[in-house]
Amino acid sequence: MSIAEDVIRPDGSRTCPPSYEWPRQTGKPAGLLTFSLKTAAYYRSEEIKKWSETNKLPLQELLAQLVGTVRKHFLDAQERRAKEKIEWEKHRIESERRWREQQKQEAIRLQQEKERKHAEAIVAAKKIRRTNLIKAAQDWRFCGSLLEFVEQCELHWKSQSQPLTPAQLEWLAWAKQTVETASTFPADFPNPTKDGGFDPNSIPLGGP
């Protein structure tokens, strides 16, 4: 708020010079006051109202109006701040609700992704076991045929009523060793606990 005494110019007009004006305009003091109410916000001021004392508006009535305006200004400001606080609280609650909803949706997505990968892993495990069974049977048949061939060769050579030559003995030893290492599956295959069928419902999510 600013208070200044008005000045009577030489031409008889009354003016209220700005506070930054120096030296003051030429004239004589009017003996009447002017009140200016301003607000300062964000480095700028805004005039709310101005009261000038006159014969029709004596100082006592002017001050009463000024006090009423100031009171209303601060009550309005208080009400505005209360509304802003309520709106801010609503915004905070809504932001938290959206955050919780996002977290919930993300948890659902992760769970669905986990279940999808689990189902894919079960399908893959079944496929691998089936494939291994077929390959093992083919491998067994091939190795059996190979061993039978080697044995027939040995019988054929022995049937000639002659002792086996060193070259024949060396070949038979090499062939039998080759048969033993020809299988691509371990000797303990199949292991019923890990190479057979299984109940998908018995497998915990993400395992074993």
Total domains in the fold of the chain: 2
Query: Would residue 50 count as lying in a domain?
Result: yes
Contact between residue 189 and residue 143 where contact means Cβ atoms under 8 Å apart: no
For residue 65, tell me if it sits in a domain: no
Q: Which of 13-27, 41-55, 95-109 has the lowest mean pLDDT?
A: 13-27
pLDDT of residue 194: 85
Do 163 and 105 belong together in one domain?
yes
Express as a percent the part of the chain with pLDDT over 70: 88
Whole-number pLDDT of residue 36: 81
- Name residue 7's beta-bridge partners: 15, 29
pLDDT on residue 111: 93
Residues 154 and 198 both lie in one domain: yes
Same domain (yes/no): 6, 48 = yes
Cβ-count burial 70-98 (b if 16+ within 10 Å, e if not)? eeeeeeeeeeeeeeeeeeeeeeeeeeeee
Percent of the chain with pLDDT over 90: 41
- Within this chain, do residues 43 and 136 fall inside the same structural domain, yes or no? no
Q: Has residue 149 been placed in a domain?
A: yes
Query: Given a cut of 70, is residue 88 above it in pLDDT?
Result: yes
Domain annotation covers residue 85: no
Q: 194 is in which domain, residue-wise? A: 90-202
d(CA 182, CA 103): 56
| Cα gap 91→71, rounded to integer Å | 30
Reported pTM:
0.52
Q: Establish if 83 belongs to a structural domain.
A: no
Same domain, 19 and 111: no
Q: Tell me the pLDDT band of 98, cut-offs 50, 70 and 90.
A: very high
